[in-house]
Chain A
Amino acid sequence: MIAAPLERIGEDALADFVSRGRWFGAKTREVTGVRVLAAPVLREGSPGLVLALVEVRFETGSHELYQLPLGMRPAGEWDEGVVGEADGTVVYDALLDAGLVSELVRLMREGAAIEDEDEDAHIELSAVDGAELLAGPWPIRPMGAEQSNTSVVLGEELVLKAYRRLEAGVNPELELLRFLTERGFPNVPALAGWYAYSGRLMDATLGILQRYVPAEQDGWGFALESLAEDPERFLAEARRLGEVTGQMHATLASDSSDPAFAPEEPSAESLGLLTATIDEEIAEAFASLPELGALEPIAGRGEEVREGLRLVSHAGPLGRAIRHHGDYHLGQVLWTGSDWIVIDFEGEPARPLPERRRKRSALRDVAGMLRSFAYVATASELRRGAAVPEDWEERAREEFLGGYLPVVEPLGLLPAGRAQTARLLAVFELEKAVYELRYELDHRPEWVSIPVAGIVRLLESDELSAPVRP
């Protein structure tokens, strides 16, 4: 039975609340309906806490599922993030209520399992062994910068991250953070707990609790600031970033007894599948290029790009496939003032969960970071008008790879030989650049020159233009 006030506030109020959320991923699609599929009660009384799982339907007949942790109090007692009012009860976003957020942490600390008998389902809340969570209550503040989730900082000690859009299966962030935390990898905010739904509807990770890492800024901000003030400052830390990245990959590849993490030898057609996928993306991107000055350097060169890719697709072995970060760039690392911390292990939010969990070459992460260097250099020029030293991006790449490769090469994860590694890296960079091209054309045409420059650079590189030696 769904709590009465929730049932009475009606579809429209829910639809309105969902579509206002910054985490709502389908802003351009027409919503034809919203309904509550399950609403297990985590706390009775006032304030009450209900975890509503709602279905949002679209006009093509598809749908998405979202998590809404909702608070309930007598009307007039709360006015932030209100969804609606019914039966003298105000229903609101529970993640704005310190008491209810603390309640979630308390339930994790207890290792609570809450049955939802109507749905033959339960919510499990767990703490990591040895997490030693304090009882609270905690003061809270929003983390900001939310995308597909909502993060709340508790007393500058913990971060609760609730996944808004839900997909069946284990969230890769929970898997990766748990794995890295259990193995003592120091450069992540350690996992402290999580909560998950398990029932007829599906099994899904709802959220995680992790340590709060006080950081000066994220890698993107650090690089921008350094470019404006002293370009050498970032370069001096780029090698360490490469090392940390390498150590992260080394840890993720370290357990061959866990099927979710065991490194895999690529199958005969892995390279073919990879290049076919990227080739389709290139074809699609180039098929619909608009007339735009910034696109001139690559206009009409789609076939050349595909040809470059084809050259690589005849190349030798791929190296092993491992679990990796999946959406790695400067915005996903924090600079603490003395070291790097890696965050956000959800993978690319636009890709379906089975794809985000897939093992692939570690070089995908490396390519993501290298592309990020190109971005930050241009962003610095565009946004701050600061001239970036011409060789800055190249030096950042060298520093990063200089830190990364020595850590990873002895592990047998990469293709044999630097030349082959460079070629495969170029393939992943091309994949990223083509993805960026489509993204910028859709969202930020003024940034299009960044992926364009990246594609030109790759076209002129040895990797994609020189025939591959057998």
Chain B
Amino acid sequence: MSAEPRHWFESNPLWFKTAVFYEIHVRGFFDGSDDGSGDFRGLAEKLDYLQWLGIDCVWLLPFYPSPLRDGGYDIADFGGVHPDYGTTEDFRAFVEAAHERGIRVIADLVMNHTSSDHPWFQEAREGRDAPKHDWYVWADDEERYPDARIIFLDTESSNWTWDARAERYYWHRFFSHQPDLNYENEEVQEAMLDVLRFWLDLGLDGFRLDAVPYLYEAEETDGENLPATHEFLRRVRAEVDAHYDDRVLLAEANQWPEDVVDYFGEGDECHMAFHFPVMPRMFMAVRREEARPILDILRNTPAIPDTCQWGLFLRNHDELTLEMVTDEERDYMYSEYAKEPRMRLNLGIRRRLAPLLDNSRDEIELLTAILFSLPGSPVLYYGDEIGMGDNVYLGDRDGVRTPMQWTGDRNGGFSRADFAQLFLPPLMDPVYGYQAVNVEAQLRQPHSLLRWVQRFIGLRKAHPVFGLGSFEALVPENPRIFAHLRQYEEDVILCVHNLARSAQAVELDLRWFAGYEPEEMFGHTRFPAIGELPYLLTLAPRGFFWFQLRAPS
């Protein structure tokens, strides 16, 4: 039996527009084979949990064979599963089981580069006459493409690295052990399309395309967002559309909104793209206690085609990236959120949601509410629903990729292996450690963060307006209030968020809805009807209200 999505889903090419995504590090989620590393069998055992949580789509970090020098983003075989995670059959069975529960699955795919261990690169370095030599980007000196920036500033000093075997330099935008593929070469394009087809045929619902802006390079450019890159993405999309239904391509392009929208094309490139710049601005807004950073970036976000959607997130498996902010804003963010130098990485902050917000439940709820209220599809990062912490003493980004904390038992219920066998130690500190923060305990507490997140996901899913509706910012006089309207068909939602750490009053101009009665969406409490005068609301510190505006009957 194939894991074809149509066996368990009604056709809906735009499913991703109303979906809640959940990002999972397979290695860190649950160990089904007692060897200290999470795997697909373990992940399948946790589908009941994911179904209960209410998420629509799982996004898997790379699970391919890899030397794991970059968390699996250094792929050594595009057509297999890392032996620690199980087999291709385990993968297929997981996808089928997820589909049966109404959950879709997308996976990370790195098209820009491979691991230097990939057989393609090993063949390519045999010399300039080797058949696959041209599958990578080579040069005899380091002079070409001088305008391309170095992304991993902390580890790399050049985008060129000398290969002693080929006796040439090869091009890499990321780590030196990740040579860039040469997309000028038609065989590379074909090979990558084969990779896409292989996984889609196994039932995968789509890909998060890692590092897409860098596929091509050209002189006198910064090597990002080049026209040829967009042309190849259109080819990928046409291939997917021609042979598969209801799949999604999600672009990771850490760029300004006006550049990112190009990845939607005219609805003929990627279905989704992450909105990177809005993320740090949500954190900034909370610290500065003002709505402006969010309003400004939304105002500067161009419209996107109707068949496309933004992916929105608070935190993910990478550092909280500060590439898309000004130098001044970056200094501000460092001083507020990364006081210790070891919390910083490249141009970013390597911390999870709860520690970033000093474990403030009010702020976690407020930011989650803002995230869920914006036009786009929210992407949650595993563990953030229980308020997991991080371990800044682990290298690179491992500090935010520690094992999921299921119970207060040994290894946090993540694995029955010996502690020493675990791929990373689970958190054990008194505040965020698994004895204090775990799924089992939070399931039992009606007011836990986990239970709140589950209710909140349910609320959002009951209203397609959040994924499909229009967005209109209200700009009240009180700058500490972030308020806006969402509207889809007859469903009108008013969202009001207080970014201040003190109680606030706000007057909203809602004249267009005179006669409507706001109904608070959590407790279904009716508020006084809207009149001609400004509508007055008072909000608790870091408080928020979501109202459904009920038309006069």
Task: Report yes or no: A354 in contact with B100, Cβ–Cβ below 8 A.
Answer: yes
Count how many chain A residues have C-beta atoms less than 8 Å from C-beta atoms of the other chain. 39
Out of B9, B406, B443, B446, which one reaches A306, CB within 8 Å?
A: B446
Per CB-CB distance, the 6 closest pairs between chain A and chain B, nearest first, are A272-B443, A354-B102, A59-B490, A61-B464, A168-B10, A202-B10
Stretch of A1-9, A276-284, A403-411 at the chain-chain interface: A276-284
B245, B444, B464, B465 — most chain A CB neighbours (10 Å) = B444
In the complex, whether A32 has a CB less than 8 A from a CB of chain B is: yes
| Chain B residues near A28 (CB-CB < 8 A) | none
In the complex, whether B8 has a CB less than 8 A from a CB of chain A is: yes
Complex: A279 Cα to B102 Cα, angstroms: 23
A sample of 8 more A-B contacts (CB under 8 A), given A60-B490, A273-B49, A314-B444, is: A59-B491, A60-B488, A202-B10, A267-B49, A269-B406, A273-B48, A275-B443, A355-B51
Complex: A258 Cα to B413 Cα, angstroms: 28
In the complex, whether A62 has a CB less than 8 A from a CB of chain B is: yes
Complex: A167 Cα to B51 Cα, angstroms: 17
Task: Report yes or no: B489 in contact with A169, Cβ–Cβ below 8 A.
Answer: no
Task: Report yes or no: B490 in contact with A357, Cβ–Cβ below 8 A.
Answer: no
Complex: A249 Cα to B48 Cα, angstroms: 22
Task: Report yes or no: B101 in contact with A354, Cβ–Cβ below 8 A.
Answer: yes
Task: Report yes or no: B491 in contact with A168, Cβ–Cβ below 8 A.
Answer: no
Q: How far, in Å, is B439 (CB) from chain A's closest CB?
A: 6
Contact A61-B100, Cβ < 8 Å, known A168-B9, A200-B11, A276-B52: no
Task: Report yes or no: B444 in contact with A272, Cβ–Cβ below 8 A.
Answer: yes
In the complex, whether A251 has a CB less than 8 A from a CB of chain B is: no
Q: How far, in Å, is B467 (CB) from chain A's closest CB?
A: 9
Q: How far, in Å, is A288 (CB) from chain B's closest CB?
A: 7
Complex: A358 Cα to B439 Cα, angstroms: 21
- Which residue of chain A lies nearest to B30 when distances are taken between CB atoms in the complex? A267
Contact A201-B524, Cβ < 8 Å, known A59-B491, A268-B413: no
In the complex, whether B46 has a CB less than 8 A from a CB of chain A is: yes
Task: Report yes or no: A268 in contact with B407, Cβ–Cβ below 8 A.
Answer: yes
Complex: A119 Cα to B7 Cα, angstroms: 16
Against B, the Cβ 8 Å flags (1 = close, 0 = not) of A330-360 are 0000000000000000000000111101100
Against A, the Cβ 8 Å flags (1 = close, 0 = not) of B43-56 are 00110110110000
Could you jot down 22 A-B contacts, CB within 8 Å?
A: A59-B491, A60-B465, A61-B465, A61-B491, A65-B10, A167-B10, A168-B7, A168-B8, A203-B6, A267-B45, A267-B46, A268-B406, A268-B407, A269-B439, A272-B439, A272-B443, A273-B49, A310-B444, A314-B444, A352-B102, A354-B51, A354-B101
In the complex, whether B128 has a CB less than 8 A from a CB of chain A is: no
- Which residue of chain A lies nearest to B450 when distances are taken between CB atoms in the complex? A276
Complex: A32 Cα to B52 Cα, angstroms: 31
Interface residues of A in 97-141 (CB under 8 A from B): none
Contact A276-B451, Cβ < 8 Å, known A200-B6, A200-B245, A268-B440: yes
In the complex, whether B526 has a CB less than 8 A from a CB of chain A is: no
Task: Report yes or no: B446 in contact with A168, Cβ–Cβ below 8 A.
Answer: no
Q: How far, in Å, is A350 (CB) from chain B's closest CB?
A: 14
- Which residue of chain A lies nearest to B490 when distances are taken between CB atoms in the complex? A59
Task: Report yes or no: A273 in contact with B443, Cβ–Cβ below 8 A.
Answer: yes
In the complex, whether B455 has a CB less than 8 A from a CB of chain A is: yes
Task: Report yes or no: A354 in contact with B463, Cβ–Cβ below 8 A.
Answer: no
| Chain B residues near A202 (CB-CB < 8 A) | 6, 9-11
| Chain B residues near A306 (CB-CB < 8 A) | 446
Out of A62, A267, A280, which one reaches B455, CB within 8 Å?
A: A280
Against B, the Cβ 8 Å flags (1 = close, 0 = not) of A285-316 are 00110000000000000000010001001100
In the complex, whether B468 has a CB less than 8 A from a CB of chain A is: yes
Q: How far, in Å, is B241 (CB) from chain A's closest CB?
A: 13
Task: Report yes or no: B102 in contact with A270, Cβ–Cβ below 8 A.
Answer: no
Task: Report yes or no: A269 in contact with B440, Cβ–Cβ below 8 A.
Answer: yes
Complex: A287 Cα to B464 Cα, angstroms: 25
| Chain B residues near A201 (CB-CB < 8 A) | 10-11
Complex: A203 Cα to B491 Cα, angstroms: 30
Q: How far, in Å, is B197 (CB) from chain A's closest CB?
A: 19
Interface residues of B in 1-45 (CB under 8 A from A): 6-11, 45
Task: Report yes or no: B464 in contact with A62, Cβ–Cβ below 8 A.
Answer: yes
Q: How far, in Å, is B54 (CB) from chain A's closest CB?
A: 11
Complex: A168 Cα to B52 Cα, angstroms: 19
Out of B7, B440, B523, which one reaches A272, CB within 8 Å?
A: B440
Task: Report yes or no: B100 in contact with A357, Cβ–Cβ below 8 A.
Answer: yes
- Which residue of chain B lies nearest to A120 when distances are taken between CB atoms in the complex? B245
Q: How far, in Å, is B491 (CB) from chain A's closest CB?
A: 5
Complex: A31 Cα to B194 Cα, angstroms: 45
Complex: A279 Cα to B468 Cα, angstroms: 31
Interface residues of A in 129-170 (CB under 8 A from B): 167-169
Interface residues of B in 438-473 (CB under 8 A from A): 439-440, 443-444, 446, 451, 454-455, 463-465, 468
| Chain A residues near B46 (CB-CB < 8 A) | 267
Complex: A167 Cα to B101 Cα, angstroms: 13
Complex: A355 Cα to B465 Cα, angstroms: 24
| Chain B residues near A200 (CB-CB < 8 A) | 6, 11, 245
Q: How far, in Å, is B552 (CB) from chain A's closest CB?
A: 15
Q: How far, in Å, is B535 (CB) from chain A's closest CB?
A: 23
- Which residue of chain B lies nearest to A63 when distances are taken between CB atoms in the complex? B10
Complex: A288 Cα to B9 Cα, angstroms: 34
| Chain B residues near A352 (CB-CB < 8 A) | 102
Task: Report yes or no: A60 in contact with B100, Cβ–Cβ below 8 A.
Answer: no
- Which residue of chain A lies nearest to B455 when distances are taken between CB atoms in the complex? A280
Complex: A354 Cα to B10 Cα, angstroms: 12
Complex: A354 Cα to B51 Cα, angstroms: 9
Q: How far, in Å, is A54 (CB) from chain B's closest CB?
A: 13
Task: Report yes or no: A313 in contact with B444, Cβ–Cβ below 8 A.
Answer: yes
Complex: A357 Cα to B440 Cα, angstroms: 24
Against B, the Cβ 8 Å flags (1 = close, 0 = not) of A347-388 are 000001111011000000000000000000000000000000
Complex: A314 Cα to B444 Cα, angstroms: 9
Complex: A283 Cα to B454 Cα, angstroms: 14
Q: How far, in Å, is B453 (CB) from chain A's closest CB?
A: 12
Against A, the Cβ 8 Å flags (1 = close, 0 = not) of B339-377 are 000000000000000000000000000000000000000
Out of A32, A275, A279, A287, which one reaches B489, CB within 8 Å?
A: A32
Against B, the Cβ 8 Å flags (1 = close, 0 = not) of A165-199 are 00111000000000000000000000000000001
Complex: A60 Cα to B463 Cα, angstroms: 7
A30, A65, A169, A272 — most chain B CB neighbours (10 Å) = A272
Contact A168-B468, Cβ < 8 Å, known A61-B491, A354-B101, A357-B100: no
Complex: A168 Cα to B45 Cα, angstroms: 23
| Chain A residues near B245 (CB-CB < 8 A) | 200
| Chain A residues near B100 (CB-CB < 8 A) | 169, 354, 357
| Chain A residues near B443 (CB-CB < 8 A) | 269, 272-273, 275-276
- Which residue of chain A lies nearest to B464 when distances are taken between CB atoms in the complex? A61
| Chain B residues near A287 (CB-CB < 8 A) | 523
- Which residue of chain B lies nearest to A314 when distances are taken between CB atoms in the complex? B444
Complex: A277 Cα to B11 Cα, angstroms: 29
Complex: A283 Cα to B447 Cα, angstroms: 11
B10, B11, B101, B451 — most chain A CB neighbours (10 Å) = B10
B7, B406, B407, B451 — most chain A CB neighbours (10 Å) = B7
Complex: A468 Cα to B488 Cα, angstroms: 50
Interface residues of B in 373-422 (CB under 8 A from A): 406-407, 413
Contact A203-B7, Cβ < 8 Å, known A61-B488, A272-B444, A288-B524: yes
- Which residue of chain A lies nearest to B467 when distances are taken between CB atoms in the complex? A61
Q: How far, in Å, is A271 (CB) from chain B's closest CB?
A: 9
Q: How far, in Å, is A387 (CB) from chain B's closest CB?
A: 41
Q: How far, in Å, is B207 (CB) from chain A's closest CB?
A: 21
Complex: A65 Cα to B488 Cα, angstroms: 21
Against B, the Cβ 8 Å flags (1 = close, 0 = not) of A243-277 are 00000000000000000000000011110110111
Q: How far, in Å, is B58 (CB) from chain A's closest CB?
A: 14
Against B, the Cβ 8 Å flags (1 = close, 0 = not) of A202-234 are 110000000000000000000000000000000
Complex: A60 Cα to B467 Cα, angstroms: 12
Against A, the Cβ 8 Å flags (1 = close, 0 = not) of B209-253 are 000000000000000000000000000000000000100000000
